[in-house]
Amino acid sequence: MTLVQMQPRPEDVSPAHTTVAEAMDAAGPQVCDDMSVEVALAVMAAARTGRLVVCDQDGQCTGLVTQTELAAVRDSSDYTDRVRLRDILGDHGSFTSPVTTMAEAEHAMRTRQLGALPVVDEQGSALGILALSH
């Protein structure tokens, strides 16, 4: 086992210059966009998480869904067991780059009223999730 020593961030580094890569959380469970709402809720329960990164057949991130959103879809009168995650993503196609500054990302998230945002690389693969602290 190799020990990795973490270096504290210098105190003179401004949050405006901190990048998303320095603040993001692990991406967590990633699921395919053809998954049903019920299965996605079961995956969330098993993983003990409140959100999932959704990817297409090529592994590119297409969005993020939360337990609250999925429960609302499941409890709606229009719900059937044929509803797939791709059907409900809507405006969840927002992403950020790991090199975006925290100030820029936070501004974009607050403007669009997003609690969390997938962080993707140049190929569209999910690297992590940036979540606003309340």
- The pLDDT tens digits of the residues spanning 5-58 come to 333 444 555 556 789 999 889 888 999 999 999 999 999 999 999 999 999 999
Number of domains in the chain: 1
On whether residue 15 sits in a domain, the answer given is no
Establish if 14 belongs to a structural domain: no
Whether 26 is covered by a domain: the verdict is yes
Who contacts 83 (Cβ-Cβ below 8 Å, separation ≥6)? Answer: 36, 37, 73
Instruction: Report yes or no on 110 lying in a domain.
Output: yes
- Residue 98: pLDDT band (50, 70, 90) is very high
In this prediction, residue 113 carries a pLDDT of 86
In whole angstroms, what is the distance from residue 44 CA to residue 12 CA? 39
Q: Say if 6 falls within a structural domain.
A: no
What is the pTM assigned to this prediction? 0.79
Q: Are 128 and 24 in contact (CB under 8 A)?
A: yes
Q: Is residue 40 assigned to a domain? A: yes
For position 65, which CATH number holds? Answer: 3.10.580.10
Burial of 11 (0-12, 13-18, 19+ CB in 10 A): exposed
Question: What is the reported pLDDT for 95?
Answer: 86
The domain in which residue 69 lies consists of: 20-131
Q: How many helices (H) and strands (E) does the chain have?
A: 5, 6
Residue 54 lies in a domain: yes
- Spatial distance between the Cα atoms of 72 and 118, rounded to a whole number of angstroms: 21
Average pLDDT along the chain: 84
